[in-house]
Amino acid sequence: MTDQKNPKSADVTGQPSNRQKDPEDWVTGDEPMTGAQASYLKTLSEEAGEEFNAELSKAEASERIDALQSKTGRGQGSGGSHHQDGGKREG
């Protein structure tokens, strides 16, 4: 068993993780949001008392999720955001 670093978490050159890309820089950011994003965004929208927009792109949904997490207090201390696939930022 080797002791290798996770290439998604910290790169050996000290560069930021590829999970930290700005949604505007995502290659697939203009595609429709994923099912996981839509589900989570709908939940957050309901909790925040705001309208859910089912027509957002992946990047737009990610940014909306961040804003609603801040408003609702959800996702605090999760170590990252921008939920393209219901997880961390796209790589």
End-to-end CA distance of the chain: 26
pLDDT greater at residue 86 or residue 46: 46
- The tens digit of pLDDT for each residue in 5-59 reads 555 445 555 555 555 667 767 677 788 999 999 999 999 999 999 999 999 999 9
- The count of other CB atoms within 10 Å of the CB of residue 9 is 11
- Poorest-pLDDT segment among 58-62, 73-77, 82-86: 82-86
The first and second tokens of residue 71, run together, are: 């408003």
pLDDT at 56: 95
